[in-house]
Amino acid sequence: MDIILASGSPRRRELLSRAQLEFTIISVDIDETPYRDESPKDYIVRMVVAKAEAATAKLNTQSKNNEAQAPKSLPSQPIILLTSDTIGVLPDGKTVLVKPSNREDAYHMWQQMSDNTHEVWTAVQATKLLLQPKHPNQADSERILKVINQQQILERTEVTFVALTKEMMSEYWDSGEPADKAGGYGIQGLGAAWVSRINGSYTNVVGLPLAQTLALIKDMNNTATL
């Protein structure tokens, strides 16, 4: 069964490649701004759903326009579309740490994480798609990808930081690494020096809980369609 990863994250691509999976990549662009008073769980679930909807719409548009990016011209067998989103959550269980918008935003987050334990949450959705008639009652109807099954997982990992100084924060921001990462750090890079302890999945903190995602894909392959 073909797998499509709807993500621009090089870290997620690398993790799936380590598992020797064959997959196609499609990028999507959605508004990732949290709603006012939105809980972390509601936010992250909304993100993976929105990414899946955007990716499905893009695949259907590409197929209609015969674009080269459409994976294998959308095969008649089911496709598994993977979407994922990672956030940090402060100990209050309410404050969402997304990608920092600027230096000041990053400092504000890091000061709350300094010498403290936060959680990293990653939601993964597997959506099974199949080419079906757009209008079932019309024999010559255009065929489009439709959702025939979907499942989600949500993984949490506790991460404890050392006490951070202004000099540490300044040097790290100037490295350029924090800008595109939830919580403003990368545990697989220079940010590892800030992490004194983790409790849970390491790959989850990188951006994709690999073992859990592989189990999700296997389950979707073995599950009958709706």
- The answer for residues whose C-beta is within 8 angstroms of residue 19's C-beta and 6 or more apart is 210, 214
Q: 85, 92, 115, 219: which is the annotated catalytic residue?
A: 85
140 is catalytic: no
The angle subtended at Cα 159 by Cα 155 and Cα 160, nearest 5°, is 165
Phi-psi region of 73 (alpha: psi -120 to 50; beta: other; left: phi over 0): left
Closest CA relative to residue 88, chosen from 99, 77, 75, 103: 99
The whole-angstrom separation of Cα 12 and Cα 17 is 9
Closest CA relative to residue 48, chosen from 202, 216, 198: 216
Closest CA relative to residue 73, chosen from 56, 86, 88, 59: 59
DSSP 87-153: EEE-TTS--EE---SSHHHHHHHHHHHTTSEEEEEEEEEEEEEEEEESSTT-TTPPEEEEEEEEEEE
- Known catalytic residues are 85
